[in-house]
A and B are shown apart, each in its own frame.
Chain A
Amino acid sequence: MTKRRLLATLILFGGVGLTLLAGWLVNSYNQTSKDQQIDLQTENATYAVRVALDRVAIGVQAIRALYASDWITNEQFERFARQLTSTEAIRSLGFYRRVTDAERAQYERRFDTEPARTLGIWQLDEKGEQVTAPQKPVYFVVEAGYLLSGAQPGYGLDVTSLPGRAEAIAEASEKSRLIATKAVEFQDARSPGVLLFAPVRDRSGNEIGLAAGSITLSDLSNIARLASGVASIDISLSEPEASTASDDEPARRNRFEFAGQNWAVAVTPAPLAGALGSWTMILVVVAGLAATASVLAYLYSLEKAAEVNEARARLAGMLNGLGPLAWLLEPDGTIVSANRAALAAFDDGESPVGKRFATLPFNGINAAQSEQIKQAVVAADRREDVRFDLDMESTDHRQVLDLWIRPLESRRGEVTSLVVSAVDVTDRYESEETQRLLMRELDHRMKNTLQVIQAIIRRTAKSHDSVEKFEQSLIGRVNAMARAHELLAQERWMGADIGTIIQQESVNFDVAEAIRSSGPRIRLNPKAALSFALATHELGTNALKYGALSTPNGRVDIDWAVERIENEPRFVLRWKESGGPPVEPPTRQGFGSMLIERSIAYELDGKATVDYRREGFTCTISAPLYAIRPFAQEPLPTSPTQH
């Protein structure tokens, strides 16, 4: 369990970690290759820009060389410049004559085109009007020029008056090299551009003017774009010293110095090869995570399966360990499985699986009960909980099963199977039955006893004239009965020994030493025991009142035996008094004597004879042995329902 958890954790972290690493590698590789491609394209574009600028510079150098040699005519210049500009996107080429203020007047005479013919050296004022240039030490005057657009160059214009030109002109003169202006506006072109100036000197080294060429930035970037194949190029210019302050510009801006200016070239790259780079990274990450998740899910399912198997085994073990029978059924009542107890209950060598539950051969089941089971299965399939006692009786066998059939429902409420349990409650049934019989017998006996007491009260009352005597007599009789009952209860109403009965009654008379009893151990049945107890009590009472026990010297001998009389074994008990006062027969028969004489005869088929001999009263009681002996199986209540 914990091993699996550990493994799962390792796989989770390992999987996610490796995936992220792979994603990062793919991404950085893509980034590198993209960067490299962009760098390469930027490099190419820069190169193309430089080539285009070189062409302009070559044009300017050519013009410089041309004017350095000697005076040339405008026609010659034009033919030369047209050729140079036609193949390249050079906006213009020109020559500006250096004219000092002293030379101005003489120089102005050469102009044969307007506005110079009228104005002399001219320039544009703030409103853009052409005006005569104010006096300056040096003028750079357009003397020759060719514009690719075909427009007429501004002959006589002092270019130092135009914005951005003067500084570059001064620098070119001073350094005597090719210098570019910053980006300046051209009147005849929409895009800004740059002018390149190179000083022209005569053979003696005097500066006579400037060769100039110009190109628009849009043309420049177009030429370079076509040459390098990038999507677009952005070209910007700055002073060389300003480049140090532009650290935060994008890295992919190539810089180079050309003609005294800092040039920066940035490209929008053409569509890159391997542009699916970021997708591959996402793909790799997703695939990696999915693989990790799958492995984890597989592990989890393994664990689940193990848990399910374990739970299933535990459940089966539990069911097999149960005493009650248990079955699992299909909703139609077909047996799917049974626990060990259920298998053992029908051990006929055949598996019950696949059979109908209602057809199981329960011992002693009748057709109605089989039908009841069948109906119960149907009812359980309709989601009813069915429970009933199945009381099966065959000739030598009784079994009561507490049968319970209940439906198992799925979460959606469909009955998926039925669970049947059967608990053997035969013992409970039988003990309930026994208890019921015992209760009935107890009830019966108690009522009988009350009836006897009622009779004793009535008879006792009839034969006594004083309440005191009645009370004494009644209490004596009831107590005698109670003692006999107690004795019988000790013996679980199986019977009592005659010796014990006699002993018990003798002790009660407080003159036990005057009573001698002897005889074999003979057990009497409960009825006989009660009769003899009452008889002994009555005999003793009479002896105390009128007989031998009424005087200190009197005594009573009691003995008993089993004797054969007229070929029948009989129990005989003799009561013999002696030493008492002279005996006289009573004038009337009391309840006691009647009880002795008649109840024994009536209840035990016996006989009691009394003899009022003068020297001592005697009484002989006999009864057939069968009537006094304990019943083979006492006392269980012969129910009145049994015939």
Chain B
Amino acid sequence: MRILIVEDEFIIADEIALIVEGLGHSIVGPAGTIEEAASIIAGEPLDFAIIDANLRGHSSSELAQSLVERQVPFCVCTGYRVDDIRSAFGDIPVVQKPVRERTLAAILESAQQKSAISTK
């Protein structure tokens, strides 16, 4: 899958990229700002997105909105509590920082299965 990583902290973006690559996916990005991420979402084919909830002090809920519009499944990766995130983003998968490889793998796997069903 082509997976977009949106994360404003370089070390974390690098870490997630390492995990995702290790799971056999290819990386789009990572994007560290909302503008950058928005242009990628608008212009590149994506199978999944992992987005940080907050980029340089701005909520990334508009990114979530455009991902929904583009029908790109995604999860939010954050240090904030799940309840706080859900109240802003709706009922979406949330991955808590620090990211566990196994959690991310399960989410990606289920996304892959869903897309496989929908393309059939």
Contacts and interface: CB of A to CB of B under 8 A. Distances in A.
A478 to B, nearest CB: 12
A619 B69 CA distance: 44
A640 B81 CA distance: 11
A452 B59 CA distance: 20
A394 interface: no
Contacts of A446: 79
Contact of B12 (A445, A455, A641): A455
A344 B97 CA distance: 52
Contacts of B62: 643
Contact of A602 (B13, B59, B79): B13
Contacts of B87: 641
B43 interface: no
Q: Which 10 A-B pairs have the closest CB atoms?
A: A447-B79, A455-B15, A599-B10, A444-B79, A451-B98, A602-B10, A451-B97, A447-B97, A450-B98, A455-B11
Interface residues of A, number: 28
A631 interface: yes
A595 B84 contact: no
A602 to B, nearest CB: 4
A469 interface: no
A36 interface: no
Contacts of A453: 98
A445 B10 CA distance: 15
Contact of B54 (A450, A454, A638): A638
Interface in B12-64: 12-15, 18, 30, 32, 53-54, 57-59, 61-62
Given A639-B84, A641-B88, A603 B8 contact: yes
B84 A455 contact: no
Nearest to A457: B15
The binding surface of chain A is classed by DSSP as helix
Contacts of B12: 448, 451-452, 455
A322 B55 CA distance: 49
A613 interface: no
A443 interface: yes
Contacts of B89: 640
28 contacts: A440-B80, A440-B81, A443-B79, A447-B96, A447-B97, A450-B97, A451-B79, A451-B98, A452-B9, A452-B11, A455-B11, A455-B14, A458-B15, A458-B18, A459-B14, A602-B10, A602-B13, A603-B8, A638-B59, A639-B84, A640-B53, A640-B54, A640-B59, A640-B61, A640-B85, A641-B87, A643-B61, A643-B62
Contacts of B54: 638, 640
A641 B11 contact: no
B51 to A, nearest CB: 11
B14 A638 contact: no
Given A440-B84, A443-B81, 11 more contacts: A448-B97, A450-B98, A455-B12, A459-B15, A595-B10, A602-B10, A602-B32, A603-B8, A640-B61, A640-B78, A641-B59
B72 interface: no
A641 to B, nearest CB: 5
A639 B87 CA distance: 11
B111 interface: no
Interface in B79-101: 79-81, 84-85, 87-89, 96-99
B61 A451 contact: no
Contacts of A643: 59, 61-62
A639 B98 CA distance: 19
Contacts of B59: 638, 640-643
A443 B54 CA distance: 14
Interface string A452-466: 111110110000000
B90 to A, nearest CB: 12
A455 B18 CA distance: 9
A447 B14 CA distance: 16
B57 A631 contact: yes
B84 A451 contact: no
A598 interface: yes
B110 to A, nearest CB: 22
